[in-house]
Structure 1
C-alpha cells in the first residue's frame, strides 16, 4: 500500500494469481494513487496477465547469451565464463575453426552453410561433458571450455571429435574443423592467455594441413559432381584425353601438357552448382541456358579456392569462348582467348562429335566446319596436317 502512503504509483511484476485447480500464472500489477484536494484518498490497482511478457523477457535473455542459429552459447556467455573460471585449475580450452564454411557458402549457398554450422555444433555438443560448455564465438569459430580438465583429457576429446567427423557425411571428413587446445595449470597463467595459446595451436594445425584439406575438398567436390551426373566423370576423362592428344600435335612442352590435362579434367567442375536437369539436357530455353552458362564462372570460383588449381581457373573460365566471339561468358574472340582454352574448346568438339571414333575424312570435315567459328583455324590446320 505504499502508493497510498506516499502518493507514488507502483508497478510489481512478481505477483502470482492462483486458479481453483491449483495452477498459477504471473501477474503484472499497477497501483495508481487517487488524489482529492491535494490528499491521497485511495488507489486504483490493476492486474494484467504477465505470462506472455515474462516469456518474451526470458526469450530476450536467452538470445542475448545464445547463438540463434546453433543454439550454443555465444560470445557474451563465453566472455562471462572466462571471468568465472579464472581461479579454476586445471582448465582446458579447445578452439575450433570450420575449414569449409566459405567454400560451402560459395558453392551451395548460405542455407547449406548454415546447415553445416548446425551439424558441426551438434557434433561438438554431443562430445561435450556435462561440466563443460560449447560456444560459437564467431562466424566459423567454436570454443569448448573444460573446467577441471587436464591436457590429456582435452587432446583425447579432440581425437574423439575428429573421429566422429570422419564417420559422417561432411565435405572434409575429419578435416571439417581444425582444433587446437591449451591447458591452464598454474596461477601464473591467465585464462585469456590460455585461450590465445589454444587458438594459435588451432591455426598452426590449420596451416599444416592446408594442402591435405584442400586436396580432400577438391576430390569430394568432384565426387559429388560425378554422383549427381555419372556421365560427367566419363566426359572429364574423355576431354582430358582429347586435349592431351591435341596438345601433343601442337607441340606443347611436358609442363604445359600437364597443365592442360589438369584443366581439361576439371573444366566442368562448376556444374556442381547446377541442378541435375540442367546438366543432363541439351534442350534449354533462354533462362535455362543462362543458368547453365553460370557453371563456367562457378568453376572459376571453385578452382580459385585451391592452391593447386588456381592456375587452371583462367582456362576453365574461357573454355566456352568461340574463336569468332560468339561464345560465353565474355564474348572473347581470336587470340583474346587463352591458348589452352582454345585447345579445350577443340577437345570438347572432339568429344561432342565422337571424332575419336571417326575416320580421318570425317574428322577433317567436322574441323573445317568449325574452323574460324568455334575453333582456332591455325590449330585446326595443324591438326588436319597431322592426320
Structure 2
C-alpha cells in the first residue's frame, strides 16, 4: 500500500521517531514533514497527502487552529487528521475530535502504540482516503476506458462556457462496427476496440481538453480556445491513427461531427446538438464504405486463417453462377448465392486459432465451439445490411436434407434454397481440391449416393447435369 503521510510537529526528534515507527510497518509509505502550520494548505495539496499526523502543542499556530483551518477548506476537509496530545489531556482529545479529528494518540508512546496502535491508525486512515479517491474517480470517469464520463462532461461543458475560453469546439464521435464486434467476437473484443479508440482520442487531446465517453459507443471532446481549423485537424489526426492501427479484431473506426461556439450569444447546448446531428449525418453518409471495409477486413481475416479459402471461394462463385442459371434463378438471387459462396464461413473469423489449427482432431467441446461459426456468421450478416439478406443462408449452410446437420437440425425444404445449393457445391469443391487421393468420379459418386440423405435430390440432379455438360 502506498500512502502519503504528513507529520506536523515542531520537534524534529518527535517527527523522526513517529516517521520511523510508521516506516517499520508501512514500508511503501511516503512521509513528509513540517515543523509548523504556516502555509500548510500548499504543503498538503502539493504532496497529495492521505493522512496528517498533527501535534496539538506548537508555537505560532497550534494544532487546533490548523485542524480547524483544514476542516473549513473544501480541498483539505476530507484528509484524516490524527492528533497527538499529552497523556492526561482528555479535554484536548475531546476538542480535537469535536473539530473533526479522525483519531488520536498520546505521548509518550507506549511500546504497544509504537508497534501496533499508531501504524494501524495510519493504515486505516490511508485506506479510507484511498477508497474515497477511488469513489470520486469512478463518479467522474468511465471505468472501461479511463476517460471522463457523461456526468463530468456535462458539468464541465457549463464550466468552460465562458468568454475567456472562446472559441469553444465540441467534437462528437460514434464508434463504427461495435455491435458487430460484440456479436461476432464477443464483448471482450468490443471492449478492446473501445479502449483502443479511447487511447487514440486521449493521445490527441491537450491537457486542458476534456475527452469523455458519454454512451456505449459515443465520445465527446470539449476543446476550449479551439477554432474550426484546429478542431478539423484533431479529427483528421484521430482518423489517421485509427486507420493505421492494428485490427482489434477489426480496424478501429469512428464517425465524427463537430461545431464551434464563437461568441457568447450562442447557446452551448445548441452547439452540442449541431455537433451531434452532424455526427449522425456523417455516420449515415460513411456507413456504406465503412460496412464494405468491415466486410473486406473479415474476408481477409478468413483467407489468412485458412490456406486455400480464397481460391475455394472464387471457384464456388463460378459454380454458383452456373447453378443459378440451371435453376433459372433471378439475377438478384444469383448475386446473393455468389455472395454466400464468399461469406458462408465468415463466422470462422471469430473461432480461436488453436481450434482452426487443430481441426479435425477436436474434442467434443472444441467441435461445438467450431460449429458455433454458423450462429456467429448469422449475427455478423444481420449487423451488416448489405449482407443481411443471406444471414439465414449462412446460419443453415451446414444443415442436411435428412435433418442430421447443424445448428438447428432442419430437414428438407425447411432449409433455405441457397443453403441447399451451397451444401452440394461446397462439398464437391472441397473434396476435389482438398483430398488429392479422391478422384472426381469418386466425389460425384459420393454426392449421388448421399442425395436424399445429406443433399436435396433436385439440387444434386441439377448439379450433375452441369457436370455432364462440362
TM-score (norm 2): 0.72
CA displacement 1:271-299 (0-9 Å, x = unmatched): 11112233341233322222211111111
> Quick check: 2:184–2:377 contact (8 Å CA) kept in 1?
no
> Quick check: 1:134–1:142 contact (8 Å CA) kept in 2?
yes
CA displacement 1:218-256 (0-9 Å, x = unmatched): 111111222222333233223333333333333333332
Q: 1:164 to 1:15 in 2, by over 3 A?
A: closer
Q: More deviation in 294-303 or 237-246?
A: 237-246
| SS of corresponding position for 2:281 | helix
| SS of corresponding position for 1:205 | helix
> Quick check: 1:94–1:144 contact (8 Å CA) kept in 2?
yes
Alignment equivalent of 1:354, drawn from 428, 432, 445: 432
> Quick check: 1:321–1:337 contact (8 Å CA) kept in 2?
yes
Alignment equivalent of 2:192, drawn from 115, 134, 158: 115
| SS of corresponding position for 1:68 | coil
RMSD, aligned CA = 2.7
Q: 1:364 to 1:76 in 2, by over 3 A?
A: closer
Flag structure 1 segments of 5+ consecutive residues without an equivalent.
1-13, 32-40
How many angstroms apart in 2 are the aligned matches of 1:384 and 1:76? 66
Q: 1:82 to 1:246 in 2, by over 3 A?
A: same
> Quick check: 1:325–1:332 contact (8 Å CA) kept in 2?
yes
What residue is the counterpart of 1:248 in the other structure?
Answer: 325
Tell me whether 1:86 sits opposite 2:95 in the alignment: no
> Quick check: 2:403–2:411 contact (8 Å CA) kept in 1?
yes
Deviation of residue 166 (structure 1)? 1.6
| SS of corresponding position for 1:72 | coil
> Quick check: 2:345–2:373 contact (8 Å CA) kept in 1?
yes
How many residue pairs are counted as aligned between the two chains? Answer: 365
How many angstroms apart in 2 are the aligned matches of 1:329 and 1:213? 30
Structure having greater relative contact order (Cα 8 Å, sep ≥ 6): 1
What residue is the counterpart of 1:287 in the other structure?
Answer: 365
| SS of corresponding position for 2:212 | strand
CA radius of gyration, larger in: 2
Q: 1:112 to 1:305 in 2, by over 3 A?
A: same
Q: How does 1:332-347 map to 2 (within 5 A)?
A: 332-347=410-425
Q: 1:96 to 1:384 in 2, by over 3 A?
A: closer
Tell me whether 1:62 sits opposite 2:140 in the alignment: no
CA displacement 1:54-91 (0-9 Å, x = unmatched): 22222222221122222212122111111112223211
What residue is the counterpart of 1:23 in the other structure?
Answer: 32
| SS of corresponding position for 2:263 | coil
Q: Which runs of 4+ in 1 moved over 6 A?
A: 355-360
| SS of corresponding position for 2:372 | helix
Q: 1:360 to 1:166 in 2, by over 3 A?
A: closer
How many angstroms apart in 1 are the aligned matches of 2:245 and 2:440? 51
How many angstroms apart in 2 are the aligned matches of 1:383 and 1:135? 58
Q: 1:372 to 1:77 in 2, by over 3 A?
A: same
> Quick check: 1:117–1:140 contact (8 Å CA) kept in 2?
yes
Q: Compare the two structures and name the one with the higher strand fraction.
A: 1
How many angstroms apart in 1 are the aligned matches of 2:318 and 2:361? 27
How many angstroms apart in 2 are the aligned matches of 1:148 and 1:228? 48
> Quick check: 2:258–2:276 contact (8 Å CA) kept in 1?
yes
Deviation of residue 140 (structure 1)? 1.4
Q: How does 1:88-103 map to 2 (within 5 A)?
A: 88=163, 89-103=166-180
How many angstroms apart in 2 are the aligned matches of 1:87 and 1:63? 27
Q: 1:96 to 1:361 in 2, by over 3 A?
A: closer
Q: 1:147 to 1:385 in 2, by over 3 A?
A: closer
What residue is the counterpart of 1:324 in the other structure?
Answer: 402
CA displacement 1:183-234 (0-9 Å, x = unmatched): 1112221111111111111111101111111110111111122222233323
Q: 1:76 to 1:249 in 2, by over 3 A?
A: same
> Quick check: 1:91–1:150 contact (8 Å CA) kept in 2?
yes
How many angstroms apart in 2 are the aligned matches of 1:140 and 1:115? 12
Flag structure 2 segments of 5+ consecutive residues without an equivalent.
10-14, 20-30, 34-50, 54-79, 84-89, 95-102, 105-120
TM-score (norm 1): 0.86
How many angstroms apart in 1 are the aligned matches of 2:351 and 2:461? 36
